[in-house]
Amino acid sequence: MDLFRLLAICYNTFENKKSTCLMYDGPNRYMSLNGLVIESYYGIFCYRVITKYGSIRMYNYMSHDEIDVINECIKSRLTYTLIESSSFINYQYTGDKYLITHIDNVPVECPVNVTYVLSINGREEYYAFIEHCMRTKLIQDVSGVINTLMNDPESYPNIVEQLSKKTEYPDISKILREDKYFHVFGLLIQHRKLVFNV
């Protein structure tokens, strides 16, 4: 559950900041790697995380003051090593990439060589991973929305209607989707309603 521990660190780092962590932004299945890799870009240390599931964006329009604090918080929890960009195809991503070897001094599953993974179903696998975390209560919410959804799947449209009201793009946010747990996960992130049980 190395990725889960990293998601928890990122989410909790944003807890008292004006910005909110994204990490629900649609993973890009063409940018899958066989390790837990951070891409730094625009001065943001953890601009995105690249995993076997794809590329997951981690920031949301932080101020310069917030960037420094958030960078330091995340860096202090991780041990990492720079990856030579020539070791894999770069596509359009140009930021420095770091392979995470430890989280809170605990070793993570770490490949000898970082290579691309053909993850055709990367998006769906990430959605399933998040749903698993919610169903097993690794991810909980203070409002009880997840429990409501689990006990009454038909409540999904009403939950989305309520959660979408205070989002940045309410009309887009309330469009119903097949991956309903992942959709609700993203909305709860924006409302800072989640608890990651690490």
Q: What is the pLDDT of residues 129-171, one digit of tens each?
A: 999 999 999 999 988 999 999 999 999 999 999 999 878 788 8
Quick check: is 32 in a domain?
yes
**Cα separations in angstroms, 162 against 75, 130, 136, 145, 191:** 36, 21, 24, 10, 11
Model-wide pTM > 0.85: yes
Cα–Cα distance between 13 and 161 in angstroms, integer?
Answer: 28
For residue 188, what pLDDT band results from cuts at 50, 70 and 90? very high
Query: Which pLDDT does position 89 carry in this prediction?
Result: 55
Quick check: is 40 in a domain?
yes
Query: Do 154 and 189 fall into the same domain?
Result: yes
Query: Do 157 and 87 fall into the same domain?
Result: no
Helix ranges (DSSP H) in the chain? 2-13, 64-75, 122-135, 145-151, 156-164, 170-173, 180-190
- Quote the domain boundaries for residue 136: 122-196
Query: Do 15 and 103 fall into the same domain?
Result: yes
Query: Do 101 and 11 fall into the same domain?
Result: yes
Query: Do 141 and 101 fall into the same domain?
Result: no
Query: Do 95 and 126 fall into the same domain?
Result: no
Phi, psi of 132 (to 5 degrees): -60, -45
Q: What is the pLDDT of residues 1-21, one digit of tens each?
A: 899 999 999 999 988 788 888
Quick check: is 116 in a domain?
no
Q: What is the distance, to the nearest Å, from the Cα of residue 64 to the centroid of all Cα atoms in its chain?
A: 21
